[in-house]
Amino acid sequence: MAHMDILGFDVKALFTTTGTVVAYLLAFGIIFAESSIIFFLPGDSFIIAAALLASQGIFNIWVLLLLMFLAAVIGNNLGYYLGSRYGRQLFNKEKSLLFDRKHIERSEKFYARYGPMTIVLARFVPMVRTVAPILAGVGNMNYTTFFSYNIIGALLWVFGLGLSAYYIGGLIPNVDKYILPFIIIVILLSVLPGALSLLRAHQKR
């Protein structure tokens, strides 16, 4: 099987040379970190890469997906807690370029109207999936509602991407040759809804 490079990392080597238990923990850690505070990690890419490796017998797909699902749920819960506990301290000043008290009011209104759907859809948009739970905490979104849709979003994201990649990996010979184009397509599809939304908002203004 050839190298599986993502952002300069050989994902196959990263997972297979560390041992099975450490590799599972690594997959958990990457998804947890991106779901909570580290927005620049390629969560989509790692889910796909790990699932493709599972299709080649390197991982147990169900253990892998369960761990990444738990990481996604716990990570978003940490983001919500940080936003709820500490987020408003950033808005103490009356006026600031980045932190204005009006942002709290806007986030509260936004999540009151679109909150549940935002939490689900944010899972498929890089960077937004990290920021969304923090803003939900800052905006005082009802925690029970947040937690419920957090689970739905994590299920769709992890199991949707993971099982799709797993079954495709089992159908296509030498699937490692196609992993980079496959990941690029997934990233483009993830970014497209947000880009279209920003374009519509710009046109309205």
Residue 191 token pair = 């970014």
CA 115, distance to chain mean position in Å, is 17
Q: What is the per-residue pLDDT across 153-195, written as a single tens digit (0 to 9) for each?
A: 999 999 999 998 898 877 776 666 666 666 666 666 655 655 6
Q: What is the 3-state secondary structure (H, E, C) of 149-197?
A: HHHHHHHHHHHHHHHHHHHHHHHCCCHHHHHHHHHHHHHHHHHHHHHHH
CA 42, distance to chain mean position in Å, is 8
d(CA 46, CA 49): 5
d(CA 29, CA 56): 22
State the DSSP code for 120. H
Q: What is the per-residue pLDDT across 92-151, written as a single tens digit (0 to 9) for each?
A: 655 554 455 555 565 566 666 776 788 888 888 777 788 888 888 887 888 999 999 999
